[in-house]
């Protein structure tokens, strides 16, 4: 049994709460031959997946009303052959593993462009991904880790500094700067 949808079925569900990114991605995927449906919340994504289960989906991990993995789980239930790619601004190994367990075929860090997403959606089963052409710098990885811990601590600077074993003022200076490239 192949886990690839029929080649003629190019239905795509995009679940993303960042409106400009969602609209740009929808236009780009439509120009690549997909019939796109959009949702901006977990509830809308689940409803659209149940109404007309798409062959493909691109789901943001962190949505305003919850976790995008709930949409991935429903997608895998209503259409086991669906190919789902999870996008996230705060990637880590635990969520990547969870995404795959729930049925995602790939996990891409934001900002991902339409070509990267298309390549992930259309990759043959068992294909090994190519190494990134421009991987994140060590400074960017450190900054994203700090941002993730800060978010998990409910934007509490003192608690974040304690968990990162860092001086509070040092953390405040890092948080005040823009993200490194």
pTM of the entire structure?
0.71
Segments of the chain assigned to CATH 3.40.50.2300: 11-122
Q: Give the separation between CA 126 and CA 14, rounded to whole angstroms.
A: 24
| DSSP structure string for 101-150 | HTTEEEEEESSPPHHHHHHHHHPPTTPPPPPPSSPPPHHHHHHHHHHHHH
Q: What's the CATH class of domain 138-176? A: mainly alpha
Q: What is the residue-level pLDDT of the chain in tens, covering all 181 positions?
A: 445 555 678 999 999 988 888 999 999 999 999 999 999 999 999 999 999 999 999 999 888 888 889 999 999 899 999 999 998 876 667 777 888 888 888 888 877 888 889 988 888 776 666 666 666 677 877 887 888 788 888 889 999 999 999 999 999 998 888 777 6
Segments of the chain assigned to CATH 1.10.10: 138-176
Q: What is the CATH number of domain 11-122?
A: 3.40.50.2300
């Amino acid at each position: 049994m192949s886990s690839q949808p029929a080649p003629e079925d190019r239905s795509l569900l995009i679940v993303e709460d960042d409106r400009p990114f969602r609209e740009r991605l929808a236009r780009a995927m439509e120009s690549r031959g997909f019939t796109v449906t959009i949702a901006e919340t977990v509830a809308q994504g689940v409803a659209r997946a149940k109404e007309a289960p798409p062959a493909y989906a691109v789901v943001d991990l962190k949505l305003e009303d919850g976790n995008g993995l709930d949409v991935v789980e429903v997608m895998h239930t209503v259409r086991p052959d669906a190919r789902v790619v999870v996008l996230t601004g705060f990637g880590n190994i635990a969520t990547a593993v969870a995404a795959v367990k729930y049925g995602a075929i790939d996990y891409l860090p934001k900002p991902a462009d339409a070509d990267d997403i298309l390549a992930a959606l259309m990759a043959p089963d068992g294909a090994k991904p190519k190494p990134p052409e421009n991987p994140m710098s060590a400074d960017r990885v450190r900054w994203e880790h700090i941002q993730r811990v800060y978010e998990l601590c409910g934007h509490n600077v003192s608690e974040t500094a304690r968990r990162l074993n860092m001086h509070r003022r040092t953390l405040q200076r890092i948080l005040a700067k823009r993200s490194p490239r």
